[in-house]
Structure 1
Amino acid sequence: MRITMKYWLGVASKDHVARGVAEGFCQLCHGKKAPLQRMQRGDYILYYSPKQEFASKQPCQAITACGVVVGDEVYQHEMFPGFIPYRRDIEWQTPVREVPLDVLRTLPGWHEVAPKLRFGHVELPPELFQAIREYMRPGGE
């Protein structure tokens, strides 16, 4: 049994993140199972949203959500016919203050993580997660 929690960063448009927050789940990498299986109950997940909406080019470029994995199960859910992505249950922290890219660039460790965003799911060093989480709290900085 693993004792140390891990910190993860997922990548999704802000509108998709908002749906997950509203319904208490996360999906990663267009519904793939493997990234969700790497996470365990008690791990934290942040979401970086490069765009406001999936179908648009309007930038967001901010961390938009923070939550903790609460379920042990990776499960499928049919979103529409032919698309049955995998999900995990998340307890999202609300409200949160978004962390814009300009702030992220000032945080130690961000420059090592940024090139990995294209993979859609990356483990964060604890220090970087804590700095981001502190900023997200109302009144943080």
Structure 2
Amino acid sequence: MTGDRTRYWVNTISLDHVLLGVEGGFTQADHGADTRLRRLRHGDGIAFYSPRTAMRTGRPLQQFTALGVVADDEPFRVDVREGFRPWRRRVDFEAVAAVPVKPLLPMLGFIDDEEHWGLPFRRGLFEVPSGDFGCIAGAMRDAADGPVDVIGARG
């Protein structure tokens, strides 16, 4: 999936880290490495999948939890604490609602095996077809119109 067209991504991140990103207008991947973040381009769409509420100790969640657009041209580095200087990308987040992944599985082309549906998410940050991204984004936007908690954009 190359060229000058918009590309679409899923980033697998625990909910607590997604919420930090939404609040700060950024995303990270691969425990702060810049390798995959360099593949993103300004204007690319990105959906966030959260398998758990917290990285190691959280309860299972299995939801798409945020949606946004890459808003910069290159990764940038930040000082979080001594010894940890992760790379990030700026993201403009959209106000959407979290949705469970399981009802979407039959509609997602990147899921080859519904019995082992979680395997693609283990890659962390990965590219998905535009139709799959549209399915995820549509479900999250539709859910935001109903009586649910909304994960909102910075404002």
Matched, 1:139 2:145: yes
The Cα RMSD (Å) is 1.8
Note the residue ranges of structure 1 that are not aligned, 5 or more in a row: none
Superposed, which structure 2 residues align to 1:108-127 within 5 Å? Answer: 108-112=108-112, 114-127=118-131
CA contact (8 A) 1:104 1:110 kept: no
Matched, 1:103 2:100: no
User: What is the SS of the residue equivalent to 1:34?
Assistant: coil
Q: Taking structure 1 as reference, are residues 66 and 6 closer, same or farther at Cα in structure 2, changes over 3 Å only?
A: same
Q: TM-score, normalised by structure 1?
A: 0.91
- Percent identity reads 36
Distance 1:35 1:25 in 2: 14
- How far the C-alpha of 1:78 sits from its partner, in A, is 1.2
Higher deviation after alignment, 105-114 or 10-19: 105-114
Any runs of at least 4 consecutive aligned residues in structure 1 with deviations exceeding 4 A, and if so which? none
Q: TM-score, normalised by structure 2?
A: 0.83
CA contact (8 A) 1:75 1:87 kept: yes
- How far the C-alpha of 1:56 sits from its partner, in A, is 1.1
Distance 1:114 1:125 in 2: 17
User: What is the SS of the residue equivalent to 1:105?
Assistant: helix
Count residues with an aligned counterpart: 139
- How far the C-alpha of 1:110 sits from its partner, in A, is 4.4
The aligned amino acid for 2:145 is G
Distance 2:110 2:62 in 1: 13
The aligned amino acid for 1:87 is R
CA contact (8 A) 1:32 1:86 kept: yes
CA contact (8 A) 1:10 1:47 kept: yes
Q: Which residue is 2:76 aligned to?
A: 75
Note the residue ranges of structure 2 that are not aligned, 5 or more in a row: 147-155
